[in-house]
Amino acid sequence: MTKIVTISREFGSGGRTVGKKAAEILGIPCYDSEIIAKIAEQSGFAENYIREHSEDAVDSGIFAALSRTDYYGLNNSDQIWAIQCGIIKELAEQGPCVIVGRCADYILSDRDDILKVFIHAPKEARMQRIVHEYGETDIDPEKRITDKDKRRISYYQLYTDNKWGVAQNYNISLDTEAIGIDKCAEIIADLAK
Amino acid sequence: MTKIVTISREFGSGGRTVGKKAAEILGIPCYDSEIIAKIAEQSGFAENYIREHSEDAVDSGIFAALSRTDYYGLNNSDQIWAIQCGIIKELAEQGPCVIVGRCADYILSDRDDILKVFIHAPKEARMQRIVHEYGETDIDPEKRITDKDKRRISYYQLYTDNKWGVAQNYNISLDTEAIGIDKCAEIIADLAK
């Protein structure tokens, strides 16, 4: 039975590409930006607003944690989180797939057919990648990576209570620089079969 | 070119078995307790004493860190560490091999032919394993695991300045419960080739 694969990934590690390639090998769908589009549809928020208030949120640090305890119900980030949880659970219900990012590993943790993957790479390789592959040349790549890392770490910890990047939270963690994107995809597809 | 494989592992995860099986597939030596024997030979300390003053040390916490700053030179743990570094570097010089434990990933980090592996498993599976495979029935398995984890975490942090179990310190991290010991060994052997 093919499993549902969740891919958590460091910014610039090539995790999205690994996910797409593994899904291709397995002949199953890969969900990534589609999830944002679905959240936009259900919430009425613009896609960019959702990006800024979910895993790449600027405000998911301690202030967001404090603001969540207010007496006025859910804030926008919490609303987006609730809708995101529903969408990811629905997608998993539809059958085997690869889901990139969005804390899917945590959201689906009550299922027993999940392969939880973490994709990472050394900072130097990620800097190269965001310049050459993503074509991001307007901001200092090191600053961009540090900033994105901070956001994902805070967001993951805020909503899941797990620590980002701890090997024990995943079934397999892979360094794309040492192993190569294609080999990572092959290993994942083989394990998910 | 076959690489040198370093295996860091949680107690009870089956990391030693994974290492031995990967080495068998690759037809290269696997060093584990041999390293303790070599340290004993060079240092004059008994093997049990070495175990208690290296990665499973009872005293590698904050007190050991403080005691290292004394004015009387190296303490016994530091001496063992120095000898261990020399032995592991020598073994690596002799050619491809698998080295289990003993911070070999850190000690060999200036080489570019290392595959750094971390082997882990959920606590429940590790408890089962130490009772059924290692036959340890005299101490509460949960207490035994918590205790061993603490020792390895402190020791690793004290001597390497790296955090134990962080995925980014390794090229690949594998959960033996989800993936299986044999499959882990196969993946590692394939990557080390």
Q: What is the mean pLDDT of residues B138-161?
A: 89
Q: Which residues pair with B178 in a beta bridge?
A: none
The reported pLDDT for the residue numbered A64 is 53
Asked whether the predicted pLDDT for residue B60 surpasses 70, the reply is no
Asked whether the predicted pLDDT for residue A69 surpasses 70, the reply is no
Asked whether the predicted pLDDT for residue A1 surpasses 90, the reply is no
Cα-only R_g, chain B: 16
What are the DSSP calls for B120-183, one per residue? E--HHHHHHHHHHTS---SS-HHHHHHHHHHHHHHHHHHHH-SPTTBGGGSSEEEEHHHH-HHH
A181 vs B65, residue with greater confidence? A181
Mutate to test the interface with B, among A8, A18, A112, A166 (most CBs of B within 10 A): A166
| Residue A70 pLDDT grade (very low, low, confident, very high; cuts 50, 70, 90) | very low
CA distance A31 to B39: 52
Instruction: Establish if B170 touches chain A: CB-CB under 8 angstroms.
Output: yes
Chain CA centroid to CA B102, Å: 4
| Residue B65 pLDDT grade (very low, low, confident, very high; cuts 50, 70, 90) | low
Q: What is the mean pLDDT of residues A2-24?
A: 95
The reported pLDDT for the residue numbered A120 is 98
Instruction: Establish if A136 touches chain B: CB-CB under 8 angstroms.
Output: no
| Residue A24 pLDDT grade (very low, low, confident, very high; cuts 50, 70, 90) | very high
Asked whether the predicted pLDDT for residue B123 surpasses 60, the reply is yes
Instruction: Establish if B37 touches chain A: CB-CB under 8 angstroms.
Output: no
Q: What is the mean pLDDT of residues B10-17?
A: 96
Asked whether the predicted pLDDT for residue A63 surpasses 70, the reply is no
Average pLDDT of chain A to the nearest whole number: 89
Contact B167 A165 (CB under 8 A): yes
Asked whether the predicted pLDDT for residue A107 surpasses 70, the reply is yes
The reported pLDDT for the residue numbered A57 is 67
Contact A191 B179 (CB under 8 A): yes
The reported pLDDT for the residue numbered B162 is 87
Contact B174 A171 (CB under 8 A): yes
CA distance A47 to A35: 10
Within 8 A of A118 by CB-CB distance, chain B residues are 167, 173
Within 8 A of A123 by CB-CB distance, chain B residues are none
Contact A167 B170 (CB under 8 A): yes
Cα-only R_g, chain A: 16
Asked whether the predicted pLDDT for residue B44 surpasses 70, the reply is yes
The reported pLDDT for the residue numbered A77 is 84
Within 8 A of A187 by CB-CB distance, chain B residues are 187
Domain A4-192 has CATH 3.40.50.10540: no
The reported pLDDT for the residue numbered B136 is 75
Asked whether the predicted pLDDT for residue B51 surpasses 90, the reply is no
Asked whether the predicted pLDDT for residue B6 surpasses 70, the reply is yes
Q: What is the mean pLDDT of residues A36-51?
A: 90
Instruction: Establish if A82 touches chain B: CB-CB under 8 angstroms.
Output: no
Instruction: Establish if A193 touches chain B: CB-CB under 8 angstroms.
Output: no
* Nearest-by-CA chain A residue for B118: A167
> In the structure encoding, which two tokens stand for residue A5, read together?
């694969």
**Closest CA of chain A from B121, distance in Å:** 7
Contact B172 A165 (CB under 8 A): no
The reported pLDDT for the residue numbered B70 is 47
| Residue B69 pLDDT grade (very low, low, confident, very high; cuts 50, 70, 90) | very low
| Residue A162 pLDDT grade (very low, low, confident, very high; cuts 50, 70, 90) | confident
Instruction: Establish if A156 touches chain B: CB-CB under 8 angstroms.
Output: no
Question: In this prediction, does ipTM exceed 0.95?
Answer: no
- DSSP conformational letter for A169: G
Instruction: Establish if B179 touches chain A: CB-CB under 8 angstroms.
Output: yes
CA distance A10 to A14: 8
Within 8 A of B183 by CB-CB distance, chain A residues are 191
Within 8 A of A179 by CB-CB distance, chain B residues are 171-172, 191
The reported pLDDT for the residue numbered B67 is 52
Q: Would you list the domain boundaries of chain A?
A: 4-192
Phi, psi of B108 (to 5 degrees): -100, 15
* Nearest-by-CA chain B residue for A174: B172
Cβ atoms of residues A8 and A118 within 8 Å:
yes
